[in-house]
Amino acid sequence: MADIMITITCPVCEKKFEKKARELADGTILKCPICGEQTTIKGTMFTDLVKNNEKAEKHA
């Protein structure tokens, strides 16, 4: 399966960068590669997206 890439916009410098959805579990701290601002991922939206996609692929 190809990894789902999520585009993240830094809340401080507003630059965009990408991370794999499976790396974005609740509580993950991301550091902006441009300005260094740290942001904490809240909730399981991204990892749930990966799990649901994997289930759909198994049934296809």
Cα(58)–Cα(60) distance, rounded to whole angstroms?
6
pLDDT at res. 2 = 57
Token look-up 């507003």 returns: 14
Give the bridge partners for 8, in sequence order.
Answer: 17
Q: Encode the chain (60 residues) as per-residue pLDDT tens digits.
A: 458 898 989 989 999 999 998 888 889 999 999 999 998 888 887 888 888 888 887 876
Q: What is the pTM of this model?
A: 0.68
| The pLDDT value given to residue 1 | 43
| Cβ atoms < 10 Å from Cβ of 53 | 15
